């Protein structure tokens, strides 16, 4: 189990994997989306941070589930 | 970042301006702070995606173009450059960074559609307040219903 988790994160941050480019993309989506909902800069920043963390955690969990399924099948 | 003045501003004009230049719809509505924020983020995302794709990932004959088209004016300016580079270069379709660049440009287009709709709604329905004003927009009570109560 822990070996699979380690391999998952190693492959995620390997130099040939461009998945790190997901981070700026998600950050821009979070700020633009929340800026359409809120007016105050502080509210926008907090809501965008919450959105970014939620989506990133969700994508990581989904990615790990798909990775585990691909290893089992 | 609140609207300035009381003169009438057309929601359709905000929609069109927002397509021509991302953020211009909000500038037209008097929301200059948001206009600059949206322009920087959306044009920046589009240009970053264009650069990541080696300048060859904006092609009108690809399905992605439907989403990219939302970015409006800047996209139309980059399209002939992309077509020129496509003819005079050799794009690597298997390159995952190029794919990521294409995704950036498509998301920039879709985000601009959201921003255009926001500018339209803020002018067409000014009485609706968002959650930032302490109330969920979907639960906003129309003026007429409030007066009748």
Question: A residues 51-70 near B, CB within 8 Å?
Answer: none
| Contact (Cβ atoms closer than 8 angstroms) between residue B11 and residue B17 | no
**What are the tens digits of pLDDT across the range A3-31?**
777 777 777 777 777 778 888 999 999 99
Residue A40 near chain B (CB below 8 Å)? yes
Residues 6+ apart with CB under 8 A from B100: A18, A21, A22, A25, B49, B52
Burial of B4 (0-12, 13-18, 19+ CB in 10 A): exposed
Residues of B in contact with A34 (CB under 8 A): none
Mean pLDDT confidence for B12-23: 93
**What are the tens digits of pLDDT across the range A29-39?**
999 999 999 98
Distance CA A24, CA A30 (A): 10
Residue A35 C-alpha from the chain's centroid: 20
Mean pLDDT confidence for B1-9: 61
The minimal CB distance from B131 to the residues A22, A37, A41 is found for: A37
Question: What per-residue confidence (pLDDT) applies to B1?
Answer: 47
Q: What φ, ψ does residue B128 adopt, rounded to 5°?
A: -80, 125
The minimal CB distance from A40 to the residues B48, B118, B132 is found for: B132
Distance CA B102, CA B34 (A): 26
HEC secondary structure over chain A: CHHHHHHHHHHHCCCCCHHHHHHHHHHHHHHHHHHCCCCCHHHHHHHHHHHHHHHHHHHHHHHHHHHHHHHHC
Closest alpha carbon to B41 in B83, B90, B74, B77: B74
SS3 state at B144: helix
Mean pLDDT confidence for B122-142: 62
Residue A39 near chain B (CB below 8 Å)? yes
Per-residue CA distances from B24 to B20, B21, B39 (Å): 8, 5, 8
Question: What per-residue confidence (pLDDT) applies to B32?
Answer: 92
Residue B42 has pLDDT above 90, yes or no: yes
Distance CA A62, CA B15 (A): 36
ipTM over 0.85: no
């Amino acid at each position: 189990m822990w070996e699979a988790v380690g391999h998952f994160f190693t492959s995620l941050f390997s130099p040939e994997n461009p998945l790190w480019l997901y981070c700026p993309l998600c950050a821009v989506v979070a700020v633009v989306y929340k800026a359409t909902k809120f007016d105050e800069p502080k509210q926008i920043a907090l809501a965008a941070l919450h959105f970014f963390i939620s989506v990133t955690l969700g994508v990581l969990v989904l990615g790990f589930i798909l990775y585990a399924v691909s290893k089992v099948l | 970042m609140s609207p300035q003045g009381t003169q009438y501003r057309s929601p359709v004009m905000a929609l069109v301006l927002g397509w021509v230049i991302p953020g211009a719809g909000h500038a037209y509505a008097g929301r200059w702070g948001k206009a600059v924020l949206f322009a920087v983020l959306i044009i920046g995302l589009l240009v970053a995606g264009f650069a990541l794709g080696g300048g060859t990932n904006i092609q009108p004959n690809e399905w992605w173009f439907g989403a990219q088209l939302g970015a409006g004016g800047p996209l139309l300016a980059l399209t002939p450059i992309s077509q020129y580079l496509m003819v005079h270069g050799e794009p690597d379709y298997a390159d995952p960074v190029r794919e990521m660049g294409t995704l950036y440009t498509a998301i920039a287009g879709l985000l601009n559609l959201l921003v255009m709709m926001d500018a339209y709604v803020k002018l067409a329905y000014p009485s609706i307040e968002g959650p930032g004003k302490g109330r969920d927009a979907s639960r906003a009570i129309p003026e007429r219903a409030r007066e009748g109560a």
